[in-house]
Amino acid sequence: MAEEAVNTGRDLSCICAHCGAAISAVHFCSECGKIQILSPDVDHFQFLELPRKLVVDDAALEKSFYSLSRQFHPDYFMSATELEKRASLERSSRLNDAYRTLRDRIARITYLLALEGYKESEKKAPPDLLEEVFESNMAIEEIKAAKRLSEDNVVVGARLSLETALDGLQQKLGEIDGQLTLVSQSWDDAVDQCAEQNRKTILLDRMSELLSHRSYIRHLVRAIQEEL
């Protein structure tokens, strides 16, 4: 029967490799029940049987992960065909990747942006923090130079400046995370309402910008912490 499906010219990614039936489920054939080779078009959201949204139900995510972990377990495929064994191992590996990505809020947003064709943004300082960023970088360089010259009094002064800057940067990170939460909810609302792509693009652009600012500030925070 599978042989006949090949000769019909139908898309083989939608055809069961075992019985030739059309596949409507993500993981198992609804006709013969056998596990399928994973289509490259299946994203993490589809894999875990979740909608492509950013506000994820943690309980639903956990339930899906553990349910699929049991279904893909190698013990169930010890006497299966080599094709099924390979499919089981492939899905077990993909399951862990999908779970790690979607359970982390920032990784989830980054992944969605990648699905929507966005490249990872360059780290950019938020415009309203340019002065603070400049002063922080200057203080870091002062500490490095003072340490080389054993100028302890300069080190102390620069440390105080960096400690003040660190507090402000961490507060800014909190603000950005709050804005990401709001934009994530707006994205989910747009998905529910089948909004036009124009509206979605505005939200995606905003998420990309916020992640760029967040990444820059986190990098600077780590640099300050290393010096302190």
Dihedral over Cα of 194, 95, 91, 76: its sign: negative
The neighbour count for residue 95, using CB atoms within 10 Å, is: 20
**Residue-wise pLDDT tens digits, 153-207:** 655 666 777 888 888 889 999 999 999 999 999 999 999 999 999 999 999 999 9
Residue 228 and residue 163 in contact, taking contact as beta carbons nearer than 8 Å: yes
Band (2; pLDDT cuts 50, 70, 90): very low
Band (119; pLDDT cuts 50, 70, 90): confident
**Residue-wise pLDDT tens digits, 5-36:** 333 333 446 788 888 888 878 899 888 999 98
| DSSP-H helix ranges across 32-119 | 44-47, 58-71, 82-103, 105-115
Q: Is the pLDDT of residue 60 over 80?
A: yes
Please state the φ and ψ torsions of residue 35, each to the nearest 5 degrees: -70, 145
**Dist CA 45 CA 57 (whole Å):** 12
**Residue-wise pLDDT tens digits, 81-97:** 999 999 999 999 999 99
Which of 105, 109, 127 lies closest to 118 in space, CA to CA?
109
Distances (CA, A) of 85 to 28, 72, 89: 13, 9, 6
**Dist CA 126 CA 113 (whole Å):** 20
Band (152; pLDDT cuts 50, 70, 90): low
